[in-house]
């Protein structure tokens, strides 16, 4: 599936998609502010396939939220760009998931986040959250590629 990516502040339909998918009210957020990294994936027809956001609530920590209908838009190349960008500013990245959201937890763990704990009413003051974190040395998406193997030349 080919999708079009936008690295711009969220448009109203992307805000609605994210708010509906996560049940978190993102309508009040100012996605034009510098503390946000926003990525929207759209079908060739223009409908929203996924939204990935990161908010720098403090200078060293980016909190991420993602809602997707088709995980194929999160390619290795895109994940490299996302994590490279986030770790160029932050020393850690945090992800919350509601404990009953098994799909979210599976994706968070697949991305390489480590379970760090449990917080009561941490999401919108309504829902408990499992807390996951990642620090740069653990991030497999930005590790330097191994150098190519050199073969001896025939004499």
**What does the mean pLDDT of the chain come to?**
91
pLDDT at 99 exceeding the cut of 70? yes
Find the mean pLDDT for residues 14-18: 97
Report DSSP state, residue 62: E
What are the tokens at 58?
């403090």
CA dist 152 and 137 (Å) reads 33
CA dist 52 and 55 (Å) reads 10
Question: How many other CB atoms are there within 10 angstroms of residue 21's CB atom?
Answer: 16
145 vs 14, which has greater pLDDT? 14
The predicted structure's pLDDT at residue 143: 75
Domains, the chain, in order of start with CATH, read 4-138 (3.40.630.30)
- Work out the angle at residue 15's Cα, subtended by the Cα atoms of residues 9 and 16, and round it to the nearest 5 degrees: 160
- Neighbouring residues of 97: CB distance < 8 A, sequence distance ≥ 6: 104, 105, 108, 129, 130, 132
Find the mean pLDDT for residues 35-59: 94
Q: What is the pLDDT of residues 104-132, one digit of tens each?
A: 999 999 999 999 999 999 999 999 999 99
Q: What is the pTM of this model?
A: 0.87
């Amino acid at each position: 599936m080919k999708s079009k990516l936008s690295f711009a502040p969220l448009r109203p339909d992307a805000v609605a998609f994210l708010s509906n998918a996560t049940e978190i009210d993102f309508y009040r957020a100012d996605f034009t502010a510098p503390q946000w990294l926003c990525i929207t994936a759209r079908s060739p027809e223009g409908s929203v396939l996924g939204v990935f956001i990161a908010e720098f609530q403090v200078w060293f920590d980016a909190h991420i939220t993602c809602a997707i209908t088709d995980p194929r838009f999160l390619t290795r190349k895109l994940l490299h760009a996302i994590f490279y960008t986030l770790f160029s500013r932050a020393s850690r990245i945090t992800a919350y998931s509601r404990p009953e959201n098994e799909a979210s937890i599976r994706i968070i763990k697949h991305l390489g986040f480590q379970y760090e704990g449990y917080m009561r009413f941490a999401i919108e003051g309504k829902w408990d959250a499992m807390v996951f974190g990642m620090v740069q040395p653990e991030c497999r998406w930005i590790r330097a590629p191994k150098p190519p193997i050199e073969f001896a030349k025939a004499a």
